[in-house]
Homo-oligomer: A and B are copies of this chain.
Amino acid sequence: MSRFQKKTPVWEGISRALTADIAEGRYTPGDKLPTEAELSARFGVNRHTVRHALKDMAETGLVHARRGSGVYVAQRPTDYPIGKRVRFHRNLQQAGRLPAKETLSIETRAADQREAEALHLNKGDPVHVYEGLSLADGQPIVMFRSAFPAERYPDLLEHLTFSKSVTAALKACGVEDYTRASTRLTAKRATTTQALHLRIREGDPILRSVGINVDANRVPTEYGVSWFAGDRVTLTLSDPE
């Protein structure tokens, strides 16, 4: 019977061994695997054979390599629910991940055409513009730029500077609740600045979301554009019940 047995390739055994290591928690997401040189020594094979195994694992999305740096256990893509209410921190905390926010810039300036249209303003009316970066477990997930009508929320910027939370800042300005009125999604290439902030490569795919939030009276509160790192996030539209 043994003559009918398939002998499994060496690289496949290595792939399984490393996959088991990850599955059993000896390497956790974000960890760097040993270098190809170390692995080829450990398994007693040529570096190409290790590379074959790693390539196989990369194709299934289990690991990803960074040239000059190493091979890393992939983070599972962050599930980012979008629906009637979009709340970054709560979303991530419920997923058991550590949310963080970095402020890139805060300013008040004249609204451009799109902003004015979305917020029911006239072009040139003042808007507060809040640019920042949201992270999960220290990894940049999404870059955003939100515009708020300045005359309606005069002291929003102070609150934003203090709390970094849009929900809290709006609440301080008298907006008890807000919901997503419309969302438009498309796939783009990362520009140089986006790539820099999201720590991806220029030209990498990003998911651009353009959304309008409204308050309980359906008055627009926020016009926001978000750029999600394509391979780090999956937007989920859950069943509207």
A interface residues with partner B (beta carbon < 8 Å)? 6, 16, 23, 77, 79, 82-84, 180-189, 202-207, 228, 230-231, 233-240
- Asked whether A202 and B239 contact (CB < 8 A) given A207-B186, A230-B188, the answer is no
What copy number does this chain have within its complex? 2
Residue from B187, B188, B189 in contact with A228 in the complex, judged by beta carbons closer than 8 Å: B187
A233: nearest chain-B partner, CB-CB: B186
Bound Cα distance from A82 to B228, whole angstroms: 19
Bound Cα distance from A183 to B23, whole angstroms: 16
Bound Cα distance from A240 to B236, whole angstroms: 15
The reply to whether B205 and A84 form a contact with Cβ atoms under 8 Å apart is no
Closest CB in chain B relative to A207 CB, distance in Å: 4
Residues of B within 8 A of A188 (CB): 187, 205, 230-231
Closest CB in chain B relative to A177 CB, distance in Å: 15
Bound Cα distance from A230 to B190, whole angstroms: 12
The reply to whether B237 and A182 form a contact with Cβ atoms under 8 Å apart is yes
Residue from B79, B183, B205 in contact with A206 in the complex, judged by beta carbons closer than 8 Å: B205
23 intermolecular pairs with C-beta atoms under 8 Å apart: A6-B202, A180-B237, A181-B239, A182-B236, A183-B237, A184-B234, A184-B236, A185-B207, A185-B237, A186-B207, A186-B231, A186-B233, A186-B235, A187-B188, A187-B205, A187-B228, A187-B231, A188-B230, A188-B231, A189-B204, A203-B203, A207-B207, A237-B237
- Further 15 A-B residue pairs, CB within 8 A, beyond A6-B202, A187-B230: A16-B189, A84-B240, A181-B239, A182-B236, A183-B236, A184-B235, A185-B235, A186-B233, A186-B235, A187-B187, A187-B207, A188-B205, A188-B230, A205-B205, A237-B237
